[in-house]
Amino acid sequence: MTTSLRTKLATGTAAFASLAALTLAIDSTASGSHGSAAPTTALPASTGSSSGSTGSDQGSLDPNSGSSSSGDDRSLDPSSGDDGSLDPSFDEPSSQAPSQDQAPSVDPGFGQPSSGTS
């Protein structure tokens, strides 16, 4: 069971090039926000009592609720006591223009909390 070296090189190069291109593309777009992933990866247990859908599993199984941040990193920091950033009623788009560091989620349907919570 062998694969020719040319095939290995071509496939590996294609994969690496795809990874690099995709990384740069994501990084250069406004959708490269940290915000929309935090609920699924960094949910603090202490937020479970904040309100309604902002419990410990908030956003974890709902693709439409993945973003509750306007890109303000501290808004979803477990150490942050500012639970306003997790309030689902914050559906108004952020007044700030999306930028690479403070960008809205890729899903336009995601609620964007008001910024400046930090």
Partner 1 sequence: MLLWSLARASAFIAFGAYSGVVVWGILVAGKAFRPAAPAVAFHRLLGSIGMIAVATHVLALLFDSYAHVTVGSLFGLGPSFSVTLGAIAFWLAIGLPLSFRLRQAKFISYRVWRKIHWAGYATWFVMLLHGFFNGTDTGSPYAAGLYAGSVALVGTAVLWRHFDDEPATSARPSPARAD
Give me the residues that bind partner 1 (CB under 8 A), please. 1-4, 7-8, 11-12, 15, 18-19, 22-27, 31-32, 34, 36-44, 56-57, 59-64, 66, 73, 78, 100-101, 105-110
Minimum distance of partner 1 from residue 87's CB (angstroms):
19
Pick 44 or 84: Cβ nearer partner 1? 44
- Quote the least distance from Cβ 14 to partner 1, whole Å: 9
Tell me how crowded residue 40 is: count the other CB atoms within 10 A of its CB: 15
Radius of gyration of the chain (CA): 18
- 57-to-43, 44, 51 alpha-carbon distances in Å: 8, 10, 12
